[in-house]
């Protein structure tokens, strides 16, 4: 393995089984990975702490968790009735409708949220991908963005939509994705009307990390705050922003014009060089303190690169200066924001995040968290699979996440069945027959049936 492959290839973790070349693991390896991510002891304890299971009842929180995550989350079961039947099949028991439908409560929401936090923290403990040499000065690259889930109009008061001519509702799923962990770092739900910039909560976690910011989060005060926390950012320059150029970092080939002391709007129409790399000064207002907003100034790096296809300049603003990344590398890094769009596509097209046909807010929130948990489980097995194929001498880059998500969705029912066996939650055939009898029996006793008088 050459130096480049050695730097980028995922490493086997301590205690992990390394497969012989050109062989693949038994199903128990994947079951172990899922159980390590969400141990049954953790699920039972969390269910008790959140009040989901107040005393021993028919519903087992472990089976319910995995049925939700590996049934609804992958689109195998779209309704609560089908989920109930799937639970009965896996638990080898029968349930009253009330025992199942009334389980979608605030306690279940809290249980699922804690599971999401646990899953994110578990995956963040391990380094699933290595940053390239160009990014070795940074701890991680983080991408912040949101996606909208449209809901029934009856929920407009709870989750009001934005810019709608009619009554509408929508949930904004705000997500922070880690490149190193290869998955979400934090997730929160807001109403669609919530401004993007209000969903980004800065803190010490940004230190030595690069945050790729969409224009919806564009705010000079936010950029200054990231720098004060010893973090870094890259953003497209907002069209209305007009910073003053105070210095030139490097002169590139092209028609060189004097730019120092001029506004960006004055320079852009006369710009002829392929790349512009300058230092700019921006004035902004601090947050209110004692009822007043204090004015302040700070300096950033502005990069403009001419796009031959679109025949215009793409401008970026950052606090990463030239000794760390070249202008083209800044533009390429910002392009990595596409990764979070792929995660949203995966959540919606594979894990049913935008297929929630109900007006019950508790069911909606529960199933949103279920979809996110399915993503976490998919990524856990995906990261394991990448390490296995590397040990077989294959290139992991060919195993894309979108193709993997399709494979995971199509095999999730097998993972569920194998996991029940692995956790020793399987039961005898007689109980299974009782379940089938209960599910097949029409509950409408007095309903008249076609051909009733012809044959039975």
What is the per-residue pLDDT across 100-109, written as a single tens digit (0 to 9) for each?
777 888 999 9
Q: What is the pLDDT at residue 301?
A: 94
User: Tokens 């603003």 map to which residue?
Assistant: 317
User: Tokens 């995966």 map to which residue?
Assistant: 346
| Tokens linked to 421 | 């066996």
Q: What's the angle, vertex CA 136, arms to CA 277 and CA 384, rounded to 5?
A: 130
Taking the CB of residue 451, how many other CB atoms lie within 10 A of it? 7
Residue 396 lies in a domain: yes
Strand locations in 261-415 (E): 275-285, 295-307, 312-318
In the chain, what is the straight-line distance between the N-terminal and C-terminal CA atoms, in Å? Answer: 70
Most confident of 12-21, 226-235, 442-451: 226-235
Which domain range does residue 307 map to?
234-327
Burial-class residue 183 by CB neighbours within 10 Å (0-12, 13-18, 19+).
buried
Query: Across-strand partners of 288?
Result: none
- Same structural domain, 238 and 301: yes
- Same structural domain, 293 and 373: no
- Same structural domain, 23 and 105: yes
Last residue of a domain, one of 280, 307, 327: 327
Residue 182 lies in a domain: no
| Tokens linked to 75 | 């689109």
**Which band of pLDDT confidence, cut at 50, 70 and 90, is reported for residue 76?**
low
Last residue of a domain, one of 327, 343, 368: 327
- Same structural domain, 11 and 121: yes
Query: Across-strand partners of 306?
Result: 313
Distance of alpha carbon 101 from its chain centroid, rounded? 28
Q: Strands 232-236 and 169-178, how do they pair?
A: unpaired
Contact of 87 with 67, CB cutoff 8 Å:
yes
Residue 130 predicted with pLDDT over 60? yes
Residue 387 lies in a domain: yes
Q: What is the pLDDT at residue 26?
A: 57
- Same structural domain, 323 and 361: no
- Same structural domain, 50 and 94: yes
Average pLDDT value for the chain: 80
Mean pLDDT computed over 47-69: 83
User: Tokens 């700070």 map to which residue?
Assistant: 298
Mean pLDDT computed over 21-44: 79
Contact of 106 with 362, CB cutoff 8 Å:
yes
The DSSP annotation for 331-349 comes to HHHHHTTHHHHHHHHHHHH
CA atoms of 40 and 338, how far apart (whole Å): 35
Contact of 177 with 340, CB cutoff 8 Å:
yes
**Dihedral angle, C-alpha 305, 308, 311, 317, nearest 10 °:** -20
* Widest pairwise Cα distance in the chain: 96
CA atoms of 94 and 88, how far apart (whole Å): 6
Last residue of a domain, one of 327, 344, 378: 327
Residue 1 predicted with pLDDT over 80? no
Q: What is the pLDDT at residue 117?
A: 94
Distance of alpha carbon 164 from its chain centroid, rounded? 26
Residue 158 lies in a domain: no
3-state DSSP helix/strand/coil percent for the chain, to nearest 5?
45, 20, 40
To the nearest whole percent, how much of the chain has pLDDT over 90? 28
Q: What is the pLDDT at residue 2?
A: 43
Nearest alpha-carbon partner for 147 in 310, 375, 359:
375
Burial-class residue 377 by CB neighbours within 10 Å (0-12, 13-18, 19+).
buried
Residue 200 lies in a domain: no
**128: DSSP letter:** -
List C-alpha distances in Å: 129 to 11, 346, 397: 9, 19, 11
Residue 392 predicted with pLDDT over 70? yes
For the ranges 253-257, 270-274, 330-334, which has the lowest average pLDDT? 253-257
The DSSP annotation for 177-223 comes to EETTTTEEEEEEEEETTS-GGGG----GGGTTEEEEE-GGG--HHHH
- Same structural domain, 383 and 285: no
Mean pLDDT computed over 15-32: 58
In sequence order, which ranges of 289-360 are alpha helices (DSSP H)? 327-335, 338-349
CA atoms of 423 and 44, how far apart (whole Å): 13
What is the per-residue pLDDT across 141-159, written as a single tens digit (0 to 9) for each?
999 999 998 888 888 888 8
Residue 278 lies in a domain: yes
Residue 226 predicted with pLDDT over 90? yes
Contact of 222 with 241, CB cutoff 8 Å:
no
- Same structural domain, 261 and 310: yes
CA atoms of 172 and 152, how far apart (whole Å): 14
User: Tokens 């807001």 map to which residue?
Assistant: 190
Residue 431 lies in a domain: yes
User: Tokens 């029968």 map to which residue?
Assistant: 94
Residue 132 lies in a domain: no
Residue 5 predicted with pLDDT over 50? no
């Amino acid at each position: 393995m050459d130096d480049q492959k050695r730097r980028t290839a995922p490493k086997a973790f301590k205690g992990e089984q390394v497969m012989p070349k050109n062989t693949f693991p038994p199903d128990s390896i994947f079951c172990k990975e899922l159980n390590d991510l969400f141990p049954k002891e953790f699920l039972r304890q969390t269910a008790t702490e959140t009040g989901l299971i107040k005393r021993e009842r028919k519903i087992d929180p472990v089976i319910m968790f995995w049925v939700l995550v590996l049934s609804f989350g992958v689109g195998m079961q779209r309704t609560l009735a089908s989920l109930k039947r799937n639970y009965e099949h896996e638990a080898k028991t029968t349930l009253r409708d009330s025992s199942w439908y009334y389980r979608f409560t605030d306690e279940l929401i809290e249980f699922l949220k804690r599971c999401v936090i646990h899953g994110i923290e578990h995956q963040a403990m391990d380094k699933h991908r290595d940053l390239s040499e160009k990014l070795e000065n940074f701890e991680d690259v983080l991408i912040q963005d949101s996606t909208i889930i449209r809901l029934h109009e009856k929920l407009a008061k709870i989750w009001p939509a934005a810019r709608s001519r009619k009554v509408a509702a929508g949930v904004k799923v705000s997500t922070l994705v880690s490149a190193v962990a290869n998955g979400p770092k934090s997730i929160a739900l807001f109403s669609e009307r919530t401004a993007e910039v209000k969903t980004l909560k800065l803190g010490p976690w940004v230190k030595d990390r690069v945050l790729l910011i969409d224009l919806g989060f564009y705010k000079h005060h936010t950029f200054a705050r990231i720098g004060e926390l010893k973090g870094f950012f890259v953003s497209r320059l907002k069209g209305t922003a007009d910073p003053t150029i105070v210095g030139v970092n490097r002169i590139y080939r092209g028609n060189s014009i004097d730019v120092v002391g001029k506004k960006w709007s004055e320079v852009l129409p006369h710009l002829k060089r392929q790349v512009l790399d300058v230092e700019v000064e921006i004035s902004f207002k601090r947050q209110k303190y004692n009822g007043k907003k204090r004015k302040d100034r700070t300096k950033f790096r502005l990069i403009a690169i001419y796009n031959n296809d679109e025949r215009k300049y793409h401008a970026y603003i950052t606090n990463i200066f030239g000794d760390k990344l070249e202008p083209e590398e800044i533009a390429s890094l910002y392009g990595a924001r596409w990764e979070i769009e792929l995660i949203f596509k995966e959540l919606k097209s594979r894990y049913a995040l935008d297929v929630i046909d109900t007006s019950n807010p508790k069911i909606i929130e529960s199933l949103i968290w279920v979809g996110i948990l399915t993503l976490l489980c998919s990524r856990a097995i995906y990261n394991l699979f990448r390490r296995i194929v590397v040990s077989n001498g294959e290139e992991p880059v060919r195993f894309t996440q979108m193709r993997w998500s399709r494979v995971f969705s199509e095999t999730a029912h097998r993972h569920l069945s194998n996991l029940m066996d692995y956790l020793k939650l399987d039961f005898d055939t007689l109980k299974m027959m009782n379940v089938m009898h209960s599910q097949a029996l029409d509950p409408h006793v007095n309903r008249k049936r076609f051909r009733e008088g012809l044959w039975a």
